Structure 1
Amino acid sequence: MIHPTALIDPSAKIGSNVSIGAYSVIGADVEIGDGTVIGPHVVIEGPTRIGRENRISQFASLGGAPQDKKFTGERTELVIGDRNLIREFVTINRGTGDGGSITSIGNDNWLLAYVHVAHDCHIGNNTVFSNYAALAGHVDIGDHVIMSGFSGVHQFCKVGAHAFIGMGCLVGSDVPPFIMMANEQRGRPRGINSEGLKRRGFDSTRISAIKRAYRTLYMAGLTQADAREQLESQAQDSDDVRSMLEFLDRSERALAR
């Protein structure tokens, strides 16, 4: 299951039932979990840890050094979970010493062709990154986020769970959970991701509570402090609104408005 032209460093740890295609290069200090399939012409540099049953397509480049002038060669890592789909020409860089030293990808994510994930990013589970989506350094992406084609997120921004970033949208602020950002160059909130929530089993009561919270935060003409006070009251009856409040507490940048 390992093509004879593949180059594998003696220190690499390869699990059972791993397939590695022609001319792929697996570097030192790389671990690949059971059942993972690696296509031809893939380059994986270490230190990198890859979990079980991932599918990595041809020409992907994983675990490369961060594109950061402050990086001086210190030991940093890329950690990828289980059952991820990583398509052609995806690039994912390791972390930096100043940024926590780790870039991490969770489980069950789809990273489609030409996606770029920069150093010190952290991606949750069940996300979809469409073609040419890109993250600058130090970006946090929550579970079930969808990044549409040609979208991008500025460094140090956070995108909350279940958010939807529209095609071509450039995000320069923190995006709370459930929010849908417009497909325009300077992204702006345009409602909640109702369709995505329905597909994931959110009932009408939960969606109504999230819509009410959105109107409070974005449509009532309130300051963020006053909106937060009202959200505190709404959160007593909704765990989803509570998760929005918790996101606001963690936010260190301006909120998308």
Structure 2
Amino acid sequence: MGTVVSIRLGATAGDAAALDGGAQPRIPALETRATVEGVFRRWDEQFSLYRPDSELSRVNRGQVRLTQASDTLRVCYALALDWRDRTDGVFTPHRADGAIDLSGVVKSLAIQEAGDLLAARGAGDWSLNAGGDILVSGHQAPGQDWLAAIVDPADRQALLASVPLARPLRAVASSGSAERGEHIWTTVDGGVSPYRQVSVFGRDIVTADVLATTIIAGGEDALNRSTENFEIEVLAVLRDGSLLATPGLRAGPA
């Protein structure tokens, strides 16, 4: 998917004691890594537009009709269309050149599937990070929430904030121009988003990912609609470097 995926396993009180005694963790690290790698590899092979042999690339070339595509692809496309409706058309799976681009939902769906598999294998405390989009479960250590580090888009070595990921907001996704340039088509006047970077904290990673893109693309109007209609918190970096934070983040530690 053109990004780095990392996984961290936390420790419950029982696991920490076992590790101190030299025992193996509940789920072997190599098994955990293989599980996560397998999920992301499969999604990448099917949906990457950087792979000419992916199913979505073949659909865009007209080699496979959309109506004849796999159930997985058609379900993802339907999900993206549903989000287009829920965001008043700001989020869209259609590029300006007419190609179908499902990257706005696919990465977060891969994160969610990998998390579901870890939970099914008995992992209760973990953090999945795919290119800065993060989903967590449980705690990093007994009584200690996972922290999401939000990077300064003007200085990728500096942090703007470290935000605890606590229930019900266990996911965060960021979108912007700092790493990939101006790659998101916007609906705002002038064609330039007022935000250089937007981080959305939500209950699930798909919602957080979609709305981060939506707010970048739709500007202030999209931010207002998103915060009114969804249970999210937002940290946005404006073009002049100033910060905008919703009340839940302003009340918490920075």
TM-score (norm: length of structure 2): 0.25
TM-score (norm: length of structure 1): 0.25
Q: Which has the higher contact order (CA 8 A, sep 6+)?
A: 2
Q: Which is helix-richer, 1 or 2?
A: 2
